[in-house]
Structure 1
Amino acid sequence: MSDDPIELSDPDVVVDAATGKLSYRGEPYSGAVTQTRADGTWHEYWSYDEGDRDGDWTGRYPDGTMRYNGEFYRNRPVGTWQEWYPDGSRRLEDVYDIEGMLLTHSAWNPAGEVIEFEDERTRKGISPDAVPADDPALRWDDGEGRMYYRAEPFTGQQFRRPAPSSPITDLAGYTDGPTRGWFLDGTPRYTGDYADRHEVGRWCEWFPTGNRKEETVFARDGALLTQTEWDEAGTVTARYGENQD
């Protein structure tokens, strides 16, 4: 690892635009990279390990006020990233997990008012009053085919996590509304809608690669109209109904 920072403007510095990896004199670089002003003060300080963005990243305004600060781990942003206005008031805060998945995003205007907020629930279209699937007040009645919540028929949203610290992977609406599923990395796994307690419209399912796996179309009364299935290579393996390309 280099003890002395190198300048980003050094002609021996090469940054791969696709991967973000940095090499110096033809080798993956470990150490600090700076961008320095004419007066000798730096306004960017970035850390690398074997070419990967790894460690503290900081930027400052000309007067030395912090402009942004965050941390990378193996090319992924992790932990809390923050940005500030020139007067030192907060501008943005993004929180990532160890895998680099964005957990929450907040932004403020110069007056200190929140102008943006997003977390996993808002990103996935989950209502603020949605109920976790392991809530003991939820009860499914097999005889009626109905979900109850606190002894009343449940008409809200239920979400599920495979483990307490895991991302949300499933969303169901009772008795009408969307049903959604995601892989652990947040990519869509399936999507569809219910109305009058049966499937309606277009239901889709995907492989982890993002390739489509199944598409089913239902009439407004729940009747199955068409269904198509694909393998992971994108070849149609099954087909039901007409007008399937």
Structure 2
Amino acid sequence: MDPVHRIDIDDPDVEMDMGQRLLYQGELFTGEAAEYIDDQIVYLDVYTEGIRDGLSQGWYPDGSRKSLGNVRNGMPRGEFKEWHPNGVLKARQFFDDDIYSLRDETFWDEHGNVTRDWHRE
């Protein structure tokens, strides 16, 4: 099995084409694209032939979890979560397999109090 190719999204060889596909050295990219602040990774997304397709993760600069979800063919699928910097869950969204398929979402403040709760009927 080949090792996963990881690039820094800020590398000068990285660009987006007119179709918003990720290119590395002029070619559609397949692998992991990471974003860093100093030496700390803050975002990591999986791409297949230039399109986000797989696990999408984010961290705050201190290394604590910021976001986690899956993307299929550029669209969110399943559960997406976000956390406040203090570790309290900030948002939970669930996407069906259909395009623009937000099924439900809940948002919380920094203290864990629900601020929005919506469910598609």
Which band: TM-score by shorter chain?
0.7 to 0.9
1:232 to 2:118 alignment: no
**How far did 1:155 drift?**
2.2
**How far did 1:228 drift?**
0.6
Separation (CA, whole Å) in 1 of partners of 2:87 and 2:68: 13
AA at the equivalent of 1:236: V
AA at the equivalent of 2:56: T
3-state SS, counterpart of residue 106 of structure 2: strand
Separation (CA, whole Å) in 1 of partners of 2:31 and 2:120: 35
List alignment gaps of at least 5 residues for structure 2. Answer: none
After TM superposition, which residue ranges in structure 1, 4 or more long, deviate above 4 angstroms?
Answer: none
**How far did 1:128 drift?**
5.0
Return the structure number with greater relative CO, CA threshold 8 A, min gap 6.
Answer: 2
The aligned runs of 1:199-214 (5 Å cut-off) are: 199-214=76-91
1:149 to 2:27 alignment: no
Separation (CA, whole Å) in 1 of partners of 2:23 and 2:4: 19
From 136, 142, 145, the counterpart of 2:12 = 136
The aligned runs of 1:1-245 (5 Å cut-off) are: 128-141=4-17, 143-163=18-38, 166-174=39-47, 175=51, 176-222=53-99, 223-241=101-119
**How far did 1:209 drift?**
1.3
Task: Give the CA RMSD over aligned residues.
Answer: 1.7
**How far did 1:160 drift?**
0.9
Native 8 Å contact 2:37 2:61 kept in 1: no
How many residues matched?
A: 114
3-state SS, counterpart of residue 37 of structure 2: coil
AA at the equivalent of 1:170: Y
Q: Deviations over 1:98-133 (max 9, x none)?
A: xxxxxxxxxxxxxxxxxxxxxxxxxxxxx7521011
Q: Deviations over 1:187-238 (max 9, x none)?
A: 1100111112110010000011110000000012241111110011111101
AA at the equivalent of 1:193: N
Native 8 Å contact 2:46 2:54 kept in 1: yes
Cα–Cα, structure 1 residues 128 and 145, in superposed 2: closer, same or farther, change >3 Å? closer
Tell me the TM-score normalized by structure 2.
0.85
Look at both structures and tell me which one has the larger radius of gyration over its CA atoms: 1
Q: Which structure carries more strand by proportion?
A: 2
**How far did 1:147 drift?**
0.9
Identity among equivalent pairs (%): 32
Separation (CA, whole Å) in 1 of partners of 2:6 and 2:98: 27
Separation (CA, whole Å) in 2 of partners of 1:146 and 1:240: 32
Separation (CA, whole Å) in 2 of partners of 1:211 and 1:194: 23
